[in-house]
Amino acid sequence: MLLSKPFAISYPSEAGTLFQMNTVRSLTETGTQVSIVNQIVQKVLHNPKLSQQFFSLYDGNFHRGEVDPQLEGDNLSLDAFRVSDICSMNSFSAGPSKIEEREEPSALYIMPSYMNHSCKGNCARYFIGDLMVIRALRNIPNGTELTMSYVPPNDNYADRTRKMAKHNFVCDCDLCVVDRSEPVLSVQTRALAMKKFENEIRDKLRTNSISDVQAIQEIQKIVALMEKTYKDANRSTYKIELFLPLSALAMKYMFTHQFLKAAETYEYMMSLYGFGTDAEIWSPVLVDTGLHVAQSYFEAGQVQKGKKWLQRIREAVKVTAGGDDKEFMKKHAQVLHSFDKYY
């Protein structure tokens, strides 16, 4: 639907240890984000014709009434704080770095920056190098606003809200509406359960200090407690916070050759995002999880179910973030090759 090259991009190896403090906005920018600001200032100064498209972007409404930069003779007067605010509001993590680094590059794209946020966006972005590709996630009626998620929808409501705070925006998507309607006690109880899972159980799993049987039992207890918080809140949709503990549980089922239980668990994980329904919230984790469903059924000897799930994932990739399944086939070549014996 849309292809966009970056107006500016900064890689971690190029950014060094830059640091910038905006005391007015209470924002601290480091590394690639600061580097992008410096790049854009220099780029616009050297080519003033680019200023109009850049300064048309949202700046957080911190500069209302300000006139866009004007040429004074051969010089262009720039407000570096406004440049910084525009970059802060519109920069993206630009996918895999060109070298092996922990931090992803930051980039600013002009056209994609006009798209507003929704956790349940009707579009999704992915990257081929630094090229941003935006595709529709579903059929979009004429005249409908195009939106995409600025933050991972698998984050809990508090984390999503914190990451969106600088945008001065309250999301009214189905997921956020459901999240806000929950009783505080349910949210707090589930948060404590997740903390126990992340700080205790996952640590035991990483260090192999717990048997598979014990691990399954402990994870099941966490899942049951979290399920109860949803039940107590009369909530039956978007129980996305279950995803991580269920993923650990499904893996243990696979390790202990309980393949049907693994398949059922992975299928349930897909349903947490409304996969295959009008209520679907797209996330890249659905691709890997769908492959796990197929693999589990193959291992359980239910080949037709495995083939059906593999086909569902390939179709989902074609009409959502991938456009076709060439990249999917390349990225997952190893696991797909392991399925050859079933065909």
Residue 76's alpha-carbon distances to 46, 52, 57, 275, in angstroms, are 9, 12, 18, 51
How many helices (H) and strands (E) the chain has is answered by 15, 12
The correct answer on CATH 3.40.50.2030 for the domain covering 178-342 is: no
CA pair distance 184, 132, nearest whole angstrom: 39
Please state the pTM of the whole predicted model.
Answer: 0.84
> What is the DSSP annotation of 253-275?
HHHTT-HHHHHHHHHHHHHHTTT
Enumerate the domain spans of the chain. Answer: 2-177, 178-342
CA pair distance 53, 56, nearest whole angstrom: 5
Digit-by-digit pLDDT tens for the chain (343 residues) are 789 999 999 887 765 655 555 655 555 666 677 788 889 999 988 888 888 899 999 988 777 667 676 666 566 778 888 898 899 899 988 765 444 445 678 899 999 999 999 999 999 888 888 899 898 888 899 999 999 999 988 899 999 999 898 888 889 999 999 999 999 999 999 999 999 999 999 999 989 899 999 999 999 999 999 999 999 999 999 999 999 999 999 999 999 999 999 999 999 999 999 998 889 998 889 999 999 999 999 999 999 999 999 999 988 877 655 556 777 888 888 999 999 998 8
